[in-house]
Amino acid sequence: MIPFNKPYLTGKEAHYMYQAVFSGKISGNGIFTKKCQYYFEQRYGYKKCLLTTSCTDALEMAAILCDVKPGDEVIVPSYTFVSSALAFVRQGAKIVFADSMGTNPNIDADKLEALITPKTKVIVPVHYAGVACDMDKIMEIADRHNILVVEDAAQAIDSYYKGRPLGSIGHLAAFSFHETKNIISGEGGLLAINDERFIRRSEIIWEKGTNRSEFFRGEVNKYGWVDTGSSFLPSEVIAAFLYAQLESMEMIQNRRKAIWAKYYDGLKDLADMGLFSTPEIPTYATNNAHMFYLVCRSLEERSALITYLKEYGILSVFHYLALHKSDYYTRHCADRPELPMCDHYADCLVRLPMYYELSDEEIGQIVEAIHDFYSKI
C-alpha cells in the first residue's frame, strides 16, 4: 500500500531530543524553542515568533490578541479546517463564511466587501495548499474598514506572495507542524506577530497570562498574573524535534517540489482533456508543494476514483467538509449561506499521496492508475 502520508525523519531528531532531555530544561521556552523562533524571525522577517503546541493554539492566541468578543464578526472561508473558525467561536464571535475562488480553493477576495458589516473584527485568509490568497486585495479592504487580518498559514511554510513570505503580511499568522505538513514535529505550531502593538501581550498570553518571560530576561523583578492566557508553549522535546527539521528545510522542500512537478507533468494530458483540474498557481504566488490534488467533475467520480486507487494499493483522500454545512454550524446558526465553489471543492477535490520518501517509481504507479481509471469511464 502506498500511504497518503509518511512522516519524514532527518536523522537528527532523536539526537536533539536527547540533548533537550539531558539539558535539565524540558518544560518549554528553552534553548531549542529559542533556536526555532530565531530561525523564523531571521529567515522570514516576522517581528516576533512564538512556538505553540498546535496551529489551533496559535489561532486561539490570535483571537485573544485581536480582542474578539461576543457579537463581533469574523470572516472565514468555509472550505478550511475547523480550527480556522473554532478559535474565534471560543471567544464568542459570529463566523461569517466566505466562498472559494473558481480557480483554487482560497477565499474569493472579490466577494469580501459584501460580507463586511460594522461588526466585522477580523478576516482569516487561509492559504490552501500553501498557495497565497490575493493578499493585496485583502489587506486593502481590511485597512479601509479598520479590520485585523490573521493569516491561517497552516499549510504555507516557505511560500510567498509577490516575494513576501506568507505569514508576514497580515497582522498575525498561524503555522502548523502537524505530521502531515512539510516541516513537522508531530503536533506543533507557531504564532507570527507582525504588528508591534501585539508583541508584549502575545508573550504574556503564551505564558499563562503572566509576565514570566520578562522576569527571566531581567526586565521586571518579579512576575505574576497580569492578563488572560493559557499554557500555549510546547515542551523542549517538541522544539528539539522541530529544529532538526528546520535544519533540513531546503532538502525537504526541493524533494517535495520535485514530486509535485512529476505529478503535474504526468497528469497534464488528462487535465488538458478536461477530465479533471490540477492545482493552479497564480502569478503572484509560489508553490511550496504542500499537497497535490485533483478536482474531479462530480462527487460520484471522486468517490469512484478513490475506490479505484485503493484497489491499486494507493491511499488517496478527500479533504474538508464545508464548515457552513457542518452539524455544529447548522445547530447553532440560522444563516444558510450559498457557497457554490466551496461546495464544489468539498464534493470533488481529492488529495494524492505526498511525502518526502515517495519514490519516482511510486509516483509513476499512481499516475498510471489514474490514467487507467479515466480510460474506463
* Domain boundaries defined on the chain: 13-247, 249-375
Indicate if the pLDDT at residue 335 is higher than 90.
no
- Each residue's pLDDT tens digit, 257-282: 999 999 999 999 999 999 999 999 99
Q: Which of 108-117, 118-127, 318-327, 349-358 has the lowest mean pLDDT?
A: 318-327
**CB-side exposure of 271: number of CA atoms within 13 Å?**
14
- Each residue's pLDDT tens digit, 213-227: 887 777 877 789 999
Q: How large is the greatest C-alpha to C-alpha distance in the chain, in angstroms?
A: 74
Q: Residue 355 — very low, low, confident or very high, per pLDDT cuts 50/70/90? A: very high
Alpha-carbon gap, residue 180 to 177, rounded angstroms = 8
Place of cell 528546520: 246
Indicate if the pLDDT at residue 336 is higher than 90.
no
Alpha-carbon gap, residue 136 to 284, rounded angstroms = 10
Alpha-carbon gap, residue 339 to 45, rounded angstroms = 36
Q: What is the pLDDT of residue 332?
A: 83
Q: Nearest 5 degrees, angle CA 205-CA 211-CA 217?
A: 125
Averaged over 44-62, what is the pLDDT? 98
Count of CB atoms within 10 A of residue 231's CB? 13
Q: What is the pLDDT of residue 145?
A: 98
Catalytic residues: 181
Q: What is the pLDDT of residue 5?
A: 98
Averaged over 303-309, what is the pLDDT? 98
Looking at 3.40.640.10, 1.10.645.10, 3.40.309.10, 3.40.50.300, the CATH number of the domain 13-247 comes to 3.40.640.10
Q: What proportion of the chain, given as a percentage, has pLDDT over 70? A: 100
Fill in the amino acid letter for 310: K
Q: What is the pLDDT of residue 220?
A: 79
Which CATH architecture is the domain 249-375 placed in?
Alpha-Beta Complex (3.90)
Q: What is the pLDDT of residue 221?
A: 74
Query: Of the candidates 303, 285, 287, 320, which has an alpha carbon nearest to the alpha carbon of residue 373?
Result: 303
Looking at per-residue pLDDT, the higher value among 333 and 49 belongs to 49
Query: Of the candidates 154, 181, 361, 119, which has an alpha carbon nearest to the alpha carbon of residue 259?
Result: 361
Indicate if the pLDDT at residue 254 is higher than 80.
yes
Rounded to the nearest integer, the mean pLDDT of the chain is 96
Q: Residue 99 — very low, low, confident or very high, per pLDDT cuts 50/70/90? A: very high
Cα–Cα distances in angstroms (integers) from residue 297 to residues 71, 86, 279, 294, 346, in the given order: 39, 30, 14, 10, 12
Averaged over 170-175, what is the pLDDT? 98
The set of long-range contacts for 164-170, using a CB threshold of 8 Å and a minimum separation of 24, is 164/135, 165/44, 165/45, 165/46, 166/127, 166/130, 166/132, 167/44, 167/46, 167/192, 168/44, 168/45, 168/46, 168/192, 168/194, 169/135, 169/139, 169/194, 170/125, 170/135, 170/139, 170/194
Q: Nearest 5 degrees, angle CA 44-CA 123-CA 105?
A: 80
Rg (CA), the chain: 21
pTM given for the model = 0.96
